[in-house]
Amino acid sequence: MKSGPAKDVSAYIAAAPVETRPMLRQLRRAIRAAAPKAEERISYRMPYYHHHGRLIYFAAYRHHVGLYIMGRSAKSLAAELKPYQTSKATLRFPIGGKIPVTLVKKIVKVRAKENEARARDKKR
């Protein structure tokens, strides 16, 4: 990443290494398609999406793009996540590899439902 924290997701992508930008744009499109009401924010110097709480993060690195899953979705989708998983809630996509867009959308939709249910429960 270029020096200084990004102020928004567009700036983050613009400052990311050139080879990661197409992957970051693809992740951004998939997340926005799956959760159109989610707000884009920067937290911990990386993009994240907020919908009734933290939804999902992503970040660019030298050799991969990381996707950080919040909540219980990692457990419920364990078999599908296994090829990309490096820890309990972290997925890595090697630079130049394919982003599993359908899986990303599925993760985001599951997370959005989790957050919506938790928000409803808090109102009761």
Place of tokens 């799956």: 34
Per-residue model confidence as pLDDT tens for the chain (124 residues): 555 678 999 999 999 999 999 999 999 999 999 999 999 999 999 999 999 999 999 999 999 999 998 777 777 788 888 899 888 889 999 999 999 999 999 999 999 999 999 888 887 7
**Hey, which CATH number is domain 9-116, 3.90.1150.200, 3.10.20.600, 3.30.360.10, 3.30.70.20?**
3.90.1150.200
Alpha-carbon distance of 76 to 48, in angstroms, equals 21
Q: Which two tokens stand for residue 29?
A: 């499109």
DSSP notation for 50-96: ESSSEEEEEEE-SSEEEEEE-TTHHHHTHHHHTTTEEETTEEEEETT
Rounded to 10°, the helix 101-123/21-34 angle is 40
**For the segment 30-42, what is each residue's pLDDT rounded down to a tens digit?**
999 999 999 999 9
